[in-house]
Amino acid sequence: MGIIGAGMSGLCMAATLRRAGYHDFTLYEKADEVGGTWRENTYPGLSCDVPARFYSYSFAPNPDWTANFAPGSEIQAYFTGFADSSGLREHIRFGTEVTEARWNGERWQVSLSDGDTDMVDVLVSAAGVLHRPKLPAIAGLASFAGSAFHSARWDHSVELADQRVGVIGTGSTGAQIVSALAGVAGRLTLFQRTAQWVFPMPIVSYSRLGRALMRRFRPLNRASYRFYQQLLEQSFGRAVVERGWRRRLLATLCRLNLRLGVRDKELRRKLTPPDQPMCKRLIISGRFYRAVTRHGVDVVTDAIDHIEPEGVVTADGVRHELDVLVLATGFDAHAYLRPINLIGEDGVKLEQVWADGPRAYRTVALPGFPNFFMLMGPHSPIGNHSLVAIAETQADYIVRWIDQIARGDIRQVAPTERATDEFNAAMREAMPDTVWTTGCQSWYLGKDGLPELWPWSPARHREMLAGDHTDEFVAR
């Protein structure tokens, strides 16, 4: 068996296989360490916007989180430590990128960047969702004379204290960077294209006593995990997909947070989004509004016209002189497996199948691609929720099919076109009830203008993948 990627979901798949008694598998990791996005991102202020006790494997709780929203370095340490303690490193081929995977009628022929070719019976993509940095198409970007880098490629050799720093982008990453650099940079300028709603959730440190109790009484870890799971599933998890009091309540809290957090009317006007709260991924922060109201921090809403060696020139003709330019412009959320060349039955390429946008069967499989499965595939519930929990659900489902292949009950399996079409049609019918279709542009949206997200609750995703749906597959 082959697993593409040794980030959070790849390690989850590998651990699930080990717990099911499988040991003959390989993880192909393009980098020299595990961790995925937590390895790649090291920018100031980085933290997870999901409570750490829930952003953990349910089968490997961490009693030593130092805060409810753990810093990125702790999360990366959790995954590297898990790879060590679970014995998964011996299964990982580091510095090895999958360039092509081709179904030959019986097995997957996996071509690797080092020139090798492996043959595997089952191939699982754990390539992640947000892993291909997106650079803005701004005229003159390459001409900037200072230091310029994407947030996922942070240059720690660059001095920021007392420098004139510009940040392009106001998503979660931009908000975290601004919150961390306000008061550090001599002048901090946030270039905002569209204001984002911010949900007030402060970072709370865990005491040494609390961590000691978590280590001593393991049921406390389980109780804490379930508490945060229910909190998120019953609040954000339902508010985004159901009309009703939950959506109204969370929206009201966002508006109150802005009203009480930003007293200056002109700045508050700049920071007021034109769309409904949760139409885009909410920024979870208790620091952002305090940061942008500090002396020495500017919020610029005029569109960027071009970039010159000295700084950024906006549409009003003003040149904002800068020493450092940070591109907090996100990732290609629709990349999935790209640029891997995936070729299924009869030579059909994934690029052809996804020409009109990514689609999948129940978020985990593709018709015409036997013995191929995905973690965090199209339409997975990746909003303000723990991706770790989603990965566990999908990995358990995949292992049940692997069990059948290992027993010899079947040799190959793939979902039918009809079942995939019916699943995607049902999702489209459910989309109008979601907040994502209320009139905003976001990275959630696909080519057809509809969100590439799960339109029901996270609990329903878990319930769906608890079944086998054998009648919806072609098995040989």
Domain boundary (327, 356, 390) is at 327
Q: Is residue 203 part of a domain?
A: no
Torsion angles phi and psi, residue 460, rounded to 5: -70, -35
pLDDT > 90? residue 440: no
Q: Is residue 232 part of a domain?
A: no
Is 285 found in the same domain as 157?
yes
- Residue 468 is predicted with a pLDDT of 86
Is 376 found in the same domain as 360?
yes
- How does pLDDT run across 398-427, given as a tens digit for each residue? 999 999 999 999 999 999 999 999 999 999
- How does pLDDT run across 302-345, given as a tens digit for each residue? 999 999 999 999 999 999 999 999 999 987 766 678 789 999 99
- Residue 441 is predicted with a pLDDT of 77
- How does pLDDT run across 380-401, given as a tens digit for each residue? 988 778 999 999 999 999 999 9
Is 412 found in the same domain as 383?
yes
Torsion angles phi and psi, residue 318, rounded to 5: -80, 135
Is 353 found in the same domain as 268?
no
Is 322 found in the same domain as 455?
no
Is 344 found in the same domain as 275?
no
Q: Is residue 211 part of a domain?
A: no
* CATH number of the domain where residue 79 is located: 3.50.50.60
Overall size of the chain counted in residues: 476
Is 343 found in the same domain as 312?
no
Is 385 found in the same domain as 298?
no
Are 53 and 213 in contact, with CB atoms under 8 Å apart?
Answer: no
Q: Is residue 235 part of a domain?
A: no
pLDDT bucket at 128, cuts 50 / 70 / 90: confident
Q: Is residue 298 part of a domain?
A: yes
Residues 179, 335, 128, CA angle at the centre, nearest 5°? 65
Alpha-carbon span 470 to 463, nearest angstrom: 16
What domain count does the chain have? 2
SS3 content of the chain, % helix, strand, coil (to 5): 35, 20, 45
- Residue 131 is predicted with a pLDDT of 66
Identify the CA nearest to 286 among candidates 64, 435, 4, 68: 68
Is 308 found in the same domain as 381?
no
Alpha-carbon span 96 to 80, nearest angstrom: 18
Is 191 found in the same domain as 123?
no
pLDDT bucket at 173, cuts 50 / 70 / 90: very high
Q: Is residue 258 part of a domain?
A: yes
Domain boundary (307, 327, 347) is at 327
Q: Is residue 305 part of a domain?
A: yes
Q: What is the SS3 string spanning the chain?
A: CEEECCCHHHHHHHHHHHHCCCCCCEEECCCCCCCCHHHHCCCCCCECCCCCCCCCCCCCCCCCCCECCCEHHHHHHHHHHHHHHCCCHHHEECCCCEEEEEECCCCEEEEECCCCEEEECCEEECCCCCCCECCCCCCCHHHCCCEEEEHHHCCCCCCCECCEEEEECCCHHHHHHHHHHCCCECEEEEECCCCCCEECCCCCECCHHHHHHHHHCHHHHHHHHHHHHHHHHHCHHHHCCCCCHHHHHHHHHHHHHHHHHCCCHHHHHHCCCCCCCCCCCCEECCCHHHHHCCCCEEEECCCEEEEECCEEEECCCCEEECCEEEECCCECCCCCCCCCEEECHHHCEHHHHCCCCCCCECCCECCCCCCEEECCCCCCCCCCCCHHHHHHHHHHHHHHHHHHHHHCCCCCEEECHHHHHHHHHHHHHHHHHCHHHCCCCCCCECCCCCECCCCCCHHHHHHHCCCCCHHHEEEC
Domain boundary (327, 351, 366) is at 327
Helices then strands, each counted (H, E), the chain = 14, 21
Strands 372-374 and 341-343: unpaired
Is 116 found in the same domain as 83?
yes
Is 372 found in the same domain as 274?
no
- Residue 202 is predicted with a pLDDT of 86
Q: What is the mean pLDDT of the chain?
A: 94
Q: Is residue 83 part of a domain?
A: yes
- Structural domain of 413: 2-132+332-475
